[in-house]
Amino acid sequence: MQRITSKENEFIKHVKKLKDKKYRDINHEYVIEGIKLVEEAVQEKAPIKQIILCDDCERNEAIPKDVMYEIAKYECIYVTQKIFKYLSEVQTPQGILAVIEKTNANTQMDYTQDLIVALNDIQDPGNLGAILRTVDSIGLTQILVSKGTADAYNPKVVRSTMGAIFRVKIIECEDLKQTLKEIKKHKFKIMVSSLQTESTIYDVNYHKKVVVIGNEANGVEKEIQEFADEKIKIPMLGRTESLNASVATGIILYEYVRQKQFK
């Protein structure tokens, strides 16, 4: 059993630096934290490189024995409470985190699914994490993200996904507009959220559609709106004109679920 007690340890320095996007990209690794996320990673057979455990932390909830049994099959590194708090990104750490290998080398689109979600420069990590969780909840296994979208492996995003990060393939697009044009060749139509339309989410069919969700402040960029096949909006009865990006995405995607169940 390896036990580390110094912040100057090279492995500890490496894990700490994984909070930086550029360093994550270079090393193709990211960090997950908490009992639930590590348990999900084990269950989904995520490429876990190391599991770090606090050997003297006061935990609010103990790690279940069956989870500890599975964890023992991986390379486990024990650290002091002081070191764990140094690495942790949360106020009340549960005493467990893991280093995961990024495996999104496969950027091939799955054109067999009815619906594809594309994010156009979503900035808030919490929104991105919630959207990934919603995408997972309706059975979709991929999502497109523009270059300007928040990093999906940001610790806050990873926590917000509640494990969806292991099940949804994140396809990063250097040029989202060009990617959407390529998808149209596969008999998909592009549908954007916009206030500049009378069509609502209830007026369209969701078969073979790409739903583009826009930036929190500016919406879907003008060039993408111009070549979109359909524009939709969420009808509202109050004075508020727009919703939080993740809330709006959830409403749109569950209209897709409603239509699918009705059929």
> What's residue 61's pLDDT?
56
Strand 96-101, strand 115-119: pairing: unpaired
> What's residue 60's pLDDT?
42
> What's residue 104's pLDDT?
61
Residue 108 has pLDDT above 90, yes or no: no
> What's residue 92's pLDDT?
84
CB atoms under 10 Å from CB of 146, counted, come to 22
Domains of the chain (ranges, CATH numbers): 2-101 (3.30.1330.30), 115-262 (3.40.1280.10)
Strand 96-101, strand 29-33: pairing: antiparallel
Q: How far apart are the C-alpha atoms of 125 and 22, rounded to whole Å? A: 16
φ, ψ for residue 156, nearest 5 deg: -65, -40
Beta bridge partner(s), residue 115: 209
pTM of the complete model: 0.90
Residue 67 has pLDDT above 90, yes or no: no
Query: Sorting pLDDT into bands at 50, 70 and 90, what band is 43?
Result: very high
Q: How far apart are the C-alpha atoms of 36 and 44, rounded to whole Å? A: 12
Report the percent of the chain where pLDDT is more than 70.
Answer: 96
- Listed residue (253, 255, 244, 241) closest to 212, CA to CA: 253
Q: How far apart are the C-alpha atoms of 156 and 65, rounded to whole Å? A: 27
- Give mean pLDDT, residues 35-48: 93
Q: How far apart are the C-alpha atoms of 31 and 260, rounded to whole Å? A: 36
- Give mean pLDDT, residues 107-130: 93
Q: What share of the chain is helix, strand, coil (3-state, %, to 5)?
A: 35, 20, 45
Q: How many CA atoms lie within 13 A of 149 on its CB side?
A: 32
- Give mean pLDDT, residues 154-169: 94
State the chain's mean pLDDT as an integer: 91
> What's residue 115's pLDDT?
96
Residue 229 has pLDDT above 60, yes or no: yes
